[in-house]
Structure 1
Amino acid sequence: MFSPTTVEKQYAQAGADSLRVLVVGAGIAGSTAAQLLRRDGRHPVLIERGDQDSSAGYMLALMPMVDVVLDDLGARDRYRAASTPLQRYAVHGHTGRKLREDSMSAILARFGDYRGIARGELIDVLSGGGCPVSFGATVSALTERTDGVEVSLRTPHGTHTLHFDLVIIADGMHSQTRELVLAPQAAKVVDTGWGGWVVWAASDNPAADADLGEEWWGAGFFAALYPVKGEVGVFVGGPRADTAAGPAAFVARIRRQVKDVSPRLQRALNAVLDDPEPYYWSLTDCRAPTWTTGRTVLLGDAAAGFLPTAGIGAGMAMESAWMLCRSLRQADRTSAGLADLLRGYERLQRPRVEAAQDNSRRLASLMFRRSRLLAVAREVAMRFVSVEQALGPIQRLLQQQPDPEELFSATGEGLRAP
Structure 2
Amino acid sequence: MLLKRKALGVISLTWCILAATFAFLPLYLWESGLPQIGHGLGALLTLWSFINGFWKAPRTVKVALVFAMYAVTVNSLMYIKYQDYQTILSALYYSYNVALMGAIIGVAHHIGARSFFRVVRSAFAMWLVLESLIIVGGLGRVFGEFRAMGTFNDPNQFAHWVLWAVIGVAISGFYLSRSMMWGWVAFALGVFLLVLSASRSGLLGMVVIGLALMYSAAYSLLRFCRKGKCRLHLRTLVLGGLVLGAFLGVISIEGFRMELGAQAEKFLGRVTHGLDKGEENLIERGYDRILLFPEYLILGAGEGANERWAGQTTFLGEIHSTPAGVLFYYGIPGSVLFVLMLWSVWQMLPLGWMRLMLLAPLFYSLGTYNLRNSFFWLGLAILYVAGRVLRDESFRGAHPGIVENREHR
TM over 0.5: no
Larger strand percent:
1
Larger proportion of helix = 2
